[in-house]
Amino acid sequence: MEAIGDEVRPEGEIGAGYAGRIFRQIQTLIDDTGGQAGGLIRVLQQVQGLIGYLPAPMLKTISRDLKIPLSEVYGIVSFYSFFTMVPKGKHVIQVCMGTSCYVKGGQRLLDTLKKDFGLEPEGITPDNKFSLETVRCLGCCGLSPVIAIGDDVHRKVKPSKIKDILSSYE
């Protein structure tokens, strides 16, 4: 995916290629709200649907064009958990750091992901294949430590098994 740079919409010019197409689609989304109240969440959802997350420069553009204070835009993004300001990988790894998983070795799993894959919480691999999050409980504490990758839940995970588990994802 072509990077969305700091300058979201150069004055008087919209670039060519992937980024240009995205900018045009986003501009259309913003224009379609007609400044209506309630348009903000719809625009945020659609922008996230287009590019997978909500980069800070994009929030500035949305704030400016919808004439909504940036603080309010950030407030909405942080209030709703389905909004994210960090890019997600094709597969999202969730490492449980709830009490049971923490005690049974959740931190060692995080350490292994960092050491072997360079992944830190809120991070993403250079090929965009995996991103990493920590969560509080995945609901199977009796089988901790637990990680989830997408809809798959892996129980009683040993650090030595992380490589095998990740290699099973295309």
Tell the smallest beta-carbon distance from residue 151 to ligand FES (Å): 15
The smaller minimum CB distance to ligand FES, of residues 53 and 102, is found at 102
Q: Which residues contact residue 137 at a Cβ distance below 8 angstroms, ignoring those fewer than 6 apart?
A: 96, 98, 100, 101
Contact segment (CB under 6 A) with ligand FES among 61-69, 98-106, 112-120, 123-131 equals 98-106
Structure tokens, 1:
């995916």
Of residues 24 through 63, those in contact with ligand FES by CB under 6 A are none
The smaller minimum CB distance to ligand FES, of residues 92 and 141, is found at 141
153 binds ligand FES (CB under 6 A): no
Q: Which residues contact residue 59 at a Cβ distance below 8 angstroms, ignoring those fewer than 6 apart?
A: 70, 73, 74, 77, 85
DSSP code of residue 126: T
Q: Determine which residue in the list 140, 159, 161, 165 makes contact with ligand FES, applying CB under 6 A.
A: 140
Helix (H, G, I), strand (E, B) or coil at 93: strand
Binding site for ligand FES (CB under 6 A): 96, 98-101, 137-141, 144, 146
